[in-house]
Amino acid sequence: MRPEPSLSVVTPYTGDRGLFIETARSLRAQSFQDWEWLIAVDASCGDDVHRLVDECDLGSRMRVIDNPHAALRQARSAFVLHLPAGDLLEPTAAEKWLWFLTSHHAYDCVESYRVSIPDEALVQSGNPGDLDVRAGLGSWAGVVRRDALRKTHARRATLPEYLHWSRVTHRAAGSPSTPGNRRARRSQTTRRIELSSKPFENKLGKTRPRLLMVVPFVTTGGADKFSVDVVSQLRQRDWETTVVTTLRSENPWLPRIARLTPDVFSLPLLLEPNDYPRFLSYLIGSRQPDAVLISNSMFAYTALPYLRRVARGVAIVDYCHSVVEGWLDGGYPRLSVDRRECLDLQITSSTALKEWMMERGAEPDRIEVCYIGTTPRHDNGRSSRAELGLPEQKPIILYPCRLTGEKQPAVFARTLNELRSRGHAFQAIVVGDGPYLGWLEAFAGRHGLDIRFLGYQPNERVRELMSVADCVFLPSKYEGISAVFYEAMAEGVPVVGADVGGQRELVAPGCGVLIPPGSEDEEVLRYTEILAGLIEDPGARRAMGDAARARIESDFTTERMGDRMEALLGRAIEVAASTPRVPPTSRAARDSAHEAVRTARWDSSAGSSFGPISWRLRHIVYRVLNAVGMPVYRFGLRLGLHWLEPLKDRVFHALFPRS
């Protein structure tokens, strides 16, 4: 018999051969493979299941228990996965459930959202409350601690992911509970941070190159779309990818990545922050990545010395999108420069950003550029203005972004007001939400501006709106290279914006117009002149749009980005092998892991101008300020008090500076 496994799987055999084989295939495909399988049968179908066991050819991994009630008691692992015959699991289900219970000691068992196979209903939780162990596990699927089987009731958590395909119908399960009813909750106890000890081993076979990507979240934005595109492009080039997110978020674009790779782990859903470092160490040992890519994750940057030590021989690369003014002397690019000794290669979104980083100490032979690119759509199937409910005759000015101070909604609004006062007719469309939405709506109402506010829209819808627009206008304070400009140019639309960051590397003369930053009054006058010229000259608009699309197709496609990223990852792997970085000391690695855990606990990192005030007290102060101050802040923005936004940011970073 095999040594004691990390997980015991128990499946009651119901006599349906087809359902049993489906479950066996699902179990074979699990990313966690250190398990034994106990088949619970009664005397009436014993001979049949023994033949099935021989067909499955799993040897000592499978045992047939003739008494269904004894199967759970004979499990040799501390954790038992109960899986009814015919039910299916997503490939990472067992691994996620097991890690959740390993990290959250307050819970006895864990399940997940499920998909009802008969009626294809999505069920968030059909059985709210604790699990009644005395009544038997029945059709329940999940992992339970073996010790909890002796209890009357087992305290249950529900992971908010659809990991389980159940044969139980939605109607039979009863009404689902509210989404957060039994979600994982943080333990109130402080546990020692375990760095070196792994709860179990799970070294998987490997036949293709693999990338481990660490990002904060996968929400809607240029950086997040780039993450999706990287996974997609590498998949087309026969790479496997494991994706880890480190910040709490709804992750609306995570399903896009999940369609490309099943190996996706959202750490805030799975683990206590104390376990983030050793989980990454576990993943590196389990998946054996050829390269680790981090981007915009404060946790990953803080833990870099730890990652460098546990990932010896593995190439570690980062990707920087843009300089962030007013934070950390430049934001993530500044962090990348400061931690360059832990990176085998640094990749930037533009040459301008590469030069900025080299001026601050980045090594010229270890920093490269990879433009994010985009994919031009085919003309077939494009929507018309009439289909989108837009006017046919008026020029359309599109402003697609999250409405924050860095996108200068005041400059946008004042420019439109100046255009209208000069007698120009146009239709403006605002796509996006954010803290300035209320102010912008109020401004439009006071000045009688013809602006349609569409709120947040999916990326596909934004591309449709771009395709019928006459101009995309984005007067940002700072950018790397705007993903909006990539997509607008791919749709054959001229762009107007700020000559900041690496924008000029994309927006060549004849494809759009960029102006240097200046005072708000100066920018409004310059943008007004440019937009007025485009409104009055349809031929110039068409020529710029054609040139913009041609530029994307020749030099800035997603496919070119994929080729470039694969080449740079290959170079990083070679550099890591030929001239490896000196690994940090064990103490430096440990200290960085502890700091990273503090980062994860409050979604910010250590150090504060508030001196010895404890992190818990700072968090309490933050919660109070948030409850009292945010209504005042939103009301002030509606009144046009734009200075409140930098004030809010200064207060937050005084409490939790990311440094």
Question: Tokens representing 238?
Answer: 């026969």
Q: Give residue 180's pLDDT.
A: 37
Q: What's 341's DSSP letter? A: G
User: Whole-number mean pLDDT of the chain?
Assistant: 87
Overall average pLDDT of the 622-630 stretch: 66
3-class SS at 541?
helix
**Amino acid in position 277:** P
CB 10 within 8 A of CB 38: yes
Q: Give residue 605's pLDDT.
A: 37
Closest CA to 573 of 246, 288, 279: 288
- Give the tens place of pLDDT for each residue, 72-123: 889 999 999 999 999 999 999 999 999 999 999 999 999 999 999 988 788 8
Whether residue 69 has pLDDT greater than 90? no
Cα–Cα distance measured from residue 260 to residue 229, given in angstroms and rounded to the nearest whole number: 10
Whether residue 209 has pLDDT greater than 50? yes
Q: Which secondary structure element, helix H or strand E, spans residue 617, and what is its range?
A: helix 615-638
Sign of the CA dihedral running 354, 357, 358, 364 = negative
- Give the tens place of pLDDT for each residue, 277-313: 999 999 999 999 999 999 999 999 999 999 999 999 9
Overall average pLDDT of the 591-620 stretch: 62
Overall average pLDDT of the 603-611 stretch: 39
Buried b / exposed e over 476-485, threshold 16 CB at 10 Å, is bbbbbbbbbb
Q: Give residue 645's pLDDT.
A: 64
Cα–Cα distance measured from residue 469 to residue 464, given in angstroms and rounded to the nearest whole number: 9
Q: What's 330's DSSP letter? A: B
Q: Give residue 543's pLDDT.
A: 97
Whether residue 246 has pLDDT greater than 90? yes
**Amino acid in position 634:** R
Q: How confident is the model at residue 622 (pLDDT cuts 50, 70, 90)?
A: low
E strands present in 117-182: 121-123, 131-132, 142-145, 153-154, 156-166
Sign of the CA dihedral running 475, 476, 481, 483 = negative
The percentage of the chain sitting over the pLDDT mark of 70, rounded to a whole number, equals: 85
Q: How confident is the model at residue 617 (pLDDT cuts 50, 70, 90)?
A: low
Whether residue 464 has pLDDT greater than 90? yes
Q: How confident is the model at residue 189 (pLDDT cuts 50, 70, 90)?
A: very low
Q: Give residue 170's pLDDT.
A: 67
Q: How confident is the model at residue 194 (pLDDT cuts 50, 70, 90)?
A: confident
